[in-house]
Amino acid sequence: MNNHPKSVTNSLKKGPVMFIMILGAFIATLNQTLMSVATPELMVEFKITAATAQWLTTGYMLVNGVLIPITAYLMQRFSTRQLFQASMIIFLAGTIVSAVATGFPLLLTGRMIQAAGAGIIMPLLTNVILTIFPPEKRGAAMGMVGLAIIFAPAIGPTIAGYIIEHYKWETMFYGMIPFAVIVIGLGFIYLRNVSEPINTKLDILSVVLSTIGFGALLYGFSRAGSLGWSDVEVISTIAAGILALGLFSWKQLKSQNPLLDLRSFKYSMFSLTTIINIAVTMVMYADMMLLPLYLQNVRGYSAIESGLLLLPGALIMGFLMPVTGKLFDRFGAKWLAVIGMIITIATTMGFTNLTDSTSYLDLVLMSTGRRIGMALMMMPLQTAGLNQLPQQLNAHGTAISNTIRQVAGAVGTSLLITVMSDRTKTHLQDLIPTAAAKGLNQAQLIKEATIQGINDAYLVIIGIGLVGLLLSLFIKKVKQAADLESKAHSKKVAAKTLSTN
């Protein structure tokens, strides 16, 4: 990727560029978290089932997952300013469509348009950081991004719960419109380009294979949670996704100008931290999905109470992000990742013994502990891997990292739902023979079986966390690799010298 000369990058006012782009990323992230709490209200409003309403989240995730691999090309083809402004305008258009939607199909269309804009923003922001900050200062910069990105999900469920309780659901989207307009306006005034676009040709076949591959894979995994892993639709879509991704990978390795440069995986720390991030993403989804399910469906807490329980941990996590960024710049990622994973595993153990009387305070403390552990390792892990890549692979490494996290999120969600559902059925069968002796009615049986099923799902989370902990011990502090062209030139010079001698 061609960048401005160093003198231009050094003279760039980083503050305004970072502020505008982080604000855009904050709004996009906030938008993602609002919908989960609003789903029950929308089911009543549009007279739809939970499986249909879930497409407001699944559809959003699908568009994101399909679009992210193409962002590497977009970041090369268009300037920072062009791409950011276009993504925010697309996001604004989707928000307006969602706000005026009178039926579910139009609301879903609006959400998917929003996702098309939001999917570009995070990879673009990460790439800008890699371009304008030297490796030794990237941790602090990524920490500031983490503060914004974690703060959004922290307040999202609480805001959504309040709006749904006091206003119509459309208010969530109408309230977002002025913020999107402000970001677009600030972008026109203050945003500067940090990279020069290069006129690369779009590989249409790679786009088609990428879309089919990631789209089918994400769809299959998201459906596995509700249909089960043995369902024909699930098996066929996952198989089609794997086949398309196999062909896509082969084409990228053969291409002179790949859509997604898989040579990034030649760098050991990038490969290792990417694998660890898969485990971290799956571990993170436990709080985001299992805990609200336990709180609202089993314990009967309201949406606001559920959101408020997650709030302290999310706020602490957000404020810790800049601190861990600075610690990363000084000490590297290894011990931050190891300590973070140990804290996360230790506090997750408390969730393997949930009952119908576990206190609200205990849940707050355990959830907050998990978030502290996550804060120590999330951004350092991603930054450590990207720091090793040569400058020209930054856009590709960022796109690969974000795509794999998206897929890991889908796999993690469906895996946990499947474990919880299957174990709930098993526990229910085990409890039925002793139900009469214990004086349990059917509702109490189902409740007890569900709690035990959730406990088992948290056990799986601990297992995934232990794998991540083991791999974290192999992290090393490495320097940024030289550009691939420079390496090739050095080899040619060396070969020529040898032949002359």
What is residue 228's predicted lDDT score, i.e. its pLDDT?
Answer: 76
In three-state secondary structure terms, 195 is strand
* pLDDT tens across the length of the chain (501 residues): 444 444 444 556 778 888 888 889 888 888 877 776 677 778 888 888 766 777 787 777 778 778 877 888 888 888 888 899 999 999 999 999 999 988 889 999 999 999 899 888 888 888 888 888 887 788 888 887 777 777 776 677 777 777 877 888 888 899 999 999 999 999 988 888 777 777 778 888 888 998 898 888 878 887 776 677 788 998 999 999 999 999 999 998 888 888 888 888 999 999 999 999 999 988 887 767 788 778 877 888 877 787 788 788 878 887 888 888 888 888 888 999 999 999 999 999 989 999 888 999 999 999 999 989 988 988 888 888 888 888 888 888 888 888 888 778 777 877 888 888 888 888 888 888 777 666 677 778 888 888 999 999 999 999 999 999 999 999 988 877 766 554 554 455 445 555 555
The answer on 219 and 293 residing in a single domain is: no
The answer on 304 and 220 residing in a single domain is: no
Residue 46 CA, chain-centre distance (Å), reads 29
The answer on 218 and 341 residing in a single domain is: no
The answer on 236 and 106 residing in a single domain is: no
Asked if residues 180 and 198 have their Cβ atoms less than 8 Å apart, the reply is no
User: Is 500 a member of any domain?
Assistant: no
What is residue 369's predicted lDDT score, i.e. its pLDDT?
Answer: 92
Other CB atoms within 10 A of residue 181 CB: 14
**For residue 39, what are the domain limits?**
1-197
The answer on 479 and 347 residing in a single domain is: yes
User: Is 83 a member of any domain?
Assistant: yes
The answer on 90 and 48 residing in a single domain is: yes
Both ends of the chain: CA-CA distance in Å? Answer: 36
Q: What is the pTM of this model?
A: 0.77
Overall domain count for the chain: 3
The answer on 269 and 239 residing in a single domain is: no
What is residue 11's predicted lDDT score, i.e. its pLDDT?
Answer: 54
What is residue 444's predicted lDDT score, i.e. its pLDDT?
Answer: 81
The answer on 439 and 355 residing in a single domain is: yes
Taken in order 37, 42, 47, 49, the sign of the CA dihedral is negative
Rounded Cα distance, 429 and 435, in Å: 10
The answer on 175 and 234 residing in a single domain is: no
